[in-house]
């Protein structure tokens, strides 16, 4: 699965990776190295995050469907007794 990020978002993430290396590891990495790391992370970790997002959406949709089903059931009217 290939992730295509908007250019602005990708640039922001590249800068965050560079800052992380500077602040946390006292290392300076270039833009190209940060971009390659980002591409690798998206390829390796991205599918797991994507699958978790799909699962979270599935659970939420099921909960909302059940809630809607309960609300619709509550709207049902009692049938009048049949006359003889």
Selected residue with higher pLDDT from 3 and 84: 3
What does pLDDT average to over the chain?
92
* Mean pLDDT value across residues 42-56: 95
The contacts of residue 18 (CB under 8 Å, 6+ apart) are 28, 29, 30, 31, 34
Selected residue with higher pLDDT from 54 and 82: 54
The contacts of residue 27 (CB under 8 Å, 6+ apart) are 21
How many domains, in total, are found in the chain?
Answer: 1
Q: Does the structure show a pLDDT above 90 at 77?
A: no
pLDDT confidence band for 36 (50 / 70 / 90):
very high
User: What pLDDT, on the 0 to 100 scale, is given for residue 78?
Assistant: 76
Domain that holds residue 60: 7-74
**Residue 82 belongs to a domain:** no
């Amino acid at each position: 699965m290939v992730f295509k990020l908007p250019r602005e978002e990708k640039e922001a993430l590249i800068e965050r990776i560079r800052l992380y290396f500077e602040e946390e590891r006292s290392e300076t990495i270039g833009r190209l190295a940060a971009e390659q790391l980002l591409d690798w992370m998206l390829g390796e970790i991205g599918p797991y995050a994507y699958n978790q997002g799909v699962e979270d959406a599935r659970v939420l949709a099921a909960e909302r469907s059940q809630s809607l089903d309960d609300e619709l059931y509550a709207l049902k009217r009692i049938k009048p007794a049949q006359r003889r």
